[in-house]
Amino acid sequence: MPGDGTIRVLVVDDSAVMRKLISGILDREAEIEVVATAIDGDFALNKIEQIKPDVITMDIDMPRMDGITALNHIAARHSIPVVMLSSLTSRGAAMTMQALELGAVDFVCKPVSVADIASVAEELIAKVKGASRMSNGARRLFPARRGGNFGKGKLNGGDSRADKIVAIGASSGGPYALRTLLPQIPRSFAAGIVIVQHMPENFTTMLAHWLDDICEINVKEASNGDMVIPGSALIAPGGYHMGIRKKLGGAEVFLERGEPVNGHRPSVEVLFQSVVKEYGSNATAVIMTGMGNDGSNAIGEIKEAGGKTIAQDEASCAVYGMPRLAVEKGFIDRVVSLSGMADCLLTEVGERIGVERGNNA
């Protein structure tokens, strides 16, 4: 960023109306300046060379050169963070996951109506600010996917009963954070993992497939009755709250629509409250990057019950909102960088004896 701290943004969208609306939202923020716009990926690549923006917002569906193709070029030539704008469709979800794999740092879902664009203004501003702190954006940061196997041929996690549980809550910047953390967790991990990532319906399905394809542990979108198994992770589906209940032989997840909590469904707060009720001191809660306050109260209940509480540190968060509130309330035992999170969990939870690690090749 320039010396005055202003975040210089290039807005790329084939719709003149959307370019104007997005630019207007961003320009109202004192720390952000829209320095140029482009009508498609081809024009954007030329503008990048001329103006060298700090952050790019990129529509996915555009004629001539779409956002995915443009992102490929950006990843090959530059280290500019890119925030994708996606439609709320299954195709949009799949393309968004592809963009994240290629190096986009985050995404924002466009509302169905252009007239409702103001509803995502706060999210868009927060994610642009978060992206500006990620100077390694638009680079392939992770190993390539294995070609859509989605976990076929993986060994089962083993024990059907998880005596320990790790509950993770994340929002803005969460897909990147989970993509960094979960591939470092071995199949021999001693706890079951349950995750709330704020995402719309369709997107959590794609997220689970995306993660499962590059993780040693099994990762899936949760369904009613799924067992919490050591060395496996369950992600709450978009549009549903997820909870845990003990039963003979182990613990299972349950899903319910319910009303949004802290503005979200699924809600981290709902998950954490359920986890502390069923697991108490055998629970470890992790609150990761995200805007807002979801989970920042219930994580205190886990600490009070004797469970372990961990927050992602400010430097590695795209948006230091949820973790900051939990830390300020005194609810956090350890503040850990994203790069150190897996080692921290292995220290707190441990591995099961006699379980060989799977082969993630």
* Paired tokens of 249: 């032989």
* Paired tokens of 355: 């379980």
Q: Which of 40, 78, 198, 213 is catalytic?
A: 198
Give the closest residue to 166 by CA, choosing from 292, 310, 265. 310
DSSP for residue 351 = B
What dihedral do alpha carbons 210, 146, 91, 68 form, nearest 10°? 100
Contact 109, 87 (CB under 8 A): yes
Active site residue 171: yes
* Paired tokens of 207: 């997220």
Q: Mention every residue, 6+ apart, whose C-beta is less than 8 A from residue 223.
A: 237, 253, 255
Active site residue 198: yes
Q: Which of 23, 86, 132, 171 is catalytic?
A: 171
How many CA atoms lie within 13 Å of 32's alpha carbon, on the beta-carbon side?
Answer: 28
Q: Which of 14, 54, 61, 294 is catalytic?
A: 294
Contact 272, 243 (CB under 8 A): no
Return the active site residues: 171, 198, 294
